[in-house]
A = this chain, B = another copy of it.
Amino acid sequence: GIIRRAWTMILALFLALESKMTSFAKKAWKTGMDEPKKVIHCLKVGMGLSLVSLFYYTRPLYDGVGGNAMWAVMTVVVVFEYTVGGTLYKGFNRATATLLAGSLGVGVHWLAIKSGNDGEPVILGASLFILASAATFSRFLPEVKSRFDYGVSIFILTFSLVSVSGYRVDKLFDLAQQRLLTIAIGTSMCILISILVFPVWAGNDLHLLITRNLDKLAESVDGCISEYFNEETARGEEEPTCKKSQSYKCVLNSKASEESLANLARWEPGHGRFGFRYPWKQYLKIGTAMRHCACCLEALSGCINSEIQAPDFIKKHLSEGCKKLSSNSTDVLKELSSIIKSMKRSPNIDSLLANMSASVDDLQNTLTSLTNQTLLSPPPPSPVLPGDSPENQSEPTHESMVDVPLMGVLPVVTIASLLIEIASRIEDVTDTVD
Contacts and interface: CB of A to CB of B under 8 A. Distances in A.
Interface of A: 24, 27-28, 31-32, 35, 38-39, 41-43, 45-47, 49-50, 53, 56-57, 62, 67, 69-70, 73-74, 77-78, 121, 124-125, 128-130, 132-134, 136-138, 140-141, 143, 153, 156-157, 160-161, 163-165, 167-168, 252-253, 255-256, 291-292, 295-296, 298-300, 302-303, 306, 361, 364-365, 367-372, 375-376, 394-395, 397-398, 400, 402-403, 405-407, 410-411, 413-414, 417-418, 421, 424-425
A298 B153 CA distance: 39
A47 B129 contact: yes
A243 B355 CA distance: 36
Nearest to A357: B394
A406 B370 contact: yes
Contacts of A424: 302, 306
Contacts of A405: 371
Identify the 4 closest CB pairs spanning chains A and B, nearest first.
A299-B299, A46-B133, A46-B129, A371-B406
Count of identical protomers in the assembly: 2
A292 B299 CA distance: 8
A58 to B, nearest CB: 10
A410 B413 contact: yes
Nearest to A67: B168
Contact of A77 (B153, B167, B292): B153
Contacts of A375: 371, 375-376, 406
Given A161-B70, A255-B253, A417-B410, A28 B138 contact: yes
A400 B373 CA distance: 13
Which of A42, A124, A291, A375 has its CB near the most chain B CB atoms (within 10 A)? A42
B70 A164 contact: yes
